[in-house]
Structure formats: C-alpha cells, structure tokens
C-alpha cells in the first residue's frame, strides 16, 4: 500500500490536484483509473476523438497523450529520487510537449495501448519500492518532492484531467 502523500511532499503547483483525490491506497487508485480511462475512451467515435471544447484547447487524443507524457515524466522523477539522485530534475512545458507530439495523427487505440503499458510498468515499479524509498526526497523543477509525492501526483493529475473530460467533453 502507498498512502496518499501530504501536500508537503510535492511542489505547491500540484496541491490543487492532490486536494481533489481521496485518502487511501494510491496503487489501488491508479489501477481503478486505468480501468475507468479504458472504459471511457476505448469506444469513442472517430469524429469525437479530435474534439476540443474551445479554441486553443487540447483534443481528447491530446489530453490522453498529455496524461501519458506526464505519467512518464513523474515516474522518471520518482525513479531518479528513489535511486538517490541529488540533482534537480528538469521541468517541462506541457503545451510545448503536446504541440510537438502529433497526438492527433495517431490512432486512439495506439495511445490507449501506450497508456496501458506505461501504467502497468509504473505499477510494477512503484510496488517494488520499500517503504523507506517512498519517503526519499529530492528536487524536481527546483522544488522538493518525495517518491510518494510524485506517485500521488500521477493519480491526482489523471483525476483532474478525467474530470475535465467528463465536464467539458461530456464523456461518461
């Protein structure tokens, strides 16, 4: 079990995300999220996949790609800190990443497969961390972070974007 990290274990930017998720086991939440995302997106009609709710907003495929990118980056940060990295890990500009990713040119099934593999790989990694590793701290984007905090950010970030998909893209 990996308990939800307190706000003190992540940069203030992520507090709004962490405040949205319930207390409890983050591994279980990550597993549940993977199933819910699959159910919500796997049967989307082709014309819906490239829908954006407003000018300059991401399409559904871009949101999914952003989730994969962010999870990959947070998992990398967690791995680095778990292994004792002392240098501050770099930040990233999400809009630039999406702009350079060409997610719209990919098939939704390909993005969903990448998401599933990324999530499964991360679950195996996170479950391999002993309790003391989860408390290890380092720096990411010049802000303090713990391994547990970064794992919690993955779940909280996905929760945030799934709410947006539900509210603004009208997905179930």
pLDDT for the residue 171: 84
Cβ-based neighbours of 4, under 8 Å, separated by 6 or more:
18, 21, 22, 23, 24, 26, 152
Q: Return the structure tokens found at 140.
A: 């990411």
Cβ-based neighbours of 96, under 8 Å, separated by 6 or more:
none
Domain ranges of the chain: 7-168
What phi and psi values does residue 52 have, to the nearest 5 degrees?
-125, 140
What phi and psi values does residue 15 have, to the nearest 5 degrees?
-55, -40
Residue-wise pLDDT for 71-89, tens only, equals: 999 999 999 999 999 999 9
Question: Considering the entire predicted model, what is its pTM?
Answer: 0.97
* Cβ atoms of residues 60 and 41 within 8 Å: yes
CATH for the stretch 7-168: 1.20.120.450
């Amino acid at each position: 079990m990996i308990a939800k990290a307190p706000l003190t274990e992540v940069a203030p930017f992520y507090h709004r995300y962490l405040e949205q998720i319930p207390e409890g086991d983050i591994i279980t939440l990550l597993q549940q999220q993977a199933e819910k995302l699959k159910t919500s997106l796997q049967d989307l009609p082709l014309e819906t996949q490239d829908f954006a709710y407003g000018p300059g907003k991401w399409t559904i495929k871009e949101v999914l790609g952003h989730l994969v990118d962010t999870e990959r980056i947070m998992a990398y940060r967690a791995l680095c800190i778990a292994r004792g990295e002392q240098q501050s890990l770099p930040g990233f500009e999400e809009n630039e990443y999406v702009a350079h990713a060409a997610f719209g040119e990919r098939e939704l099934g390909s993005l969903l497969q990448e998401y599933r593999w990324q999530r499964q790989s991360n679950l195996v990694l996170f479950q391999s961390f002993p309790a003391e590793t989860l408390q290890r701290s380092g720096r990411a984007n010049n802000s303090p972070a713990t391994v547990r905090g970064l794992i919690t950010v993955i779940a909280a970030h996905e929760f945030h974007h799934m709410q947006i998909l539900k509210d603004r893209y009208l997905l179930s």
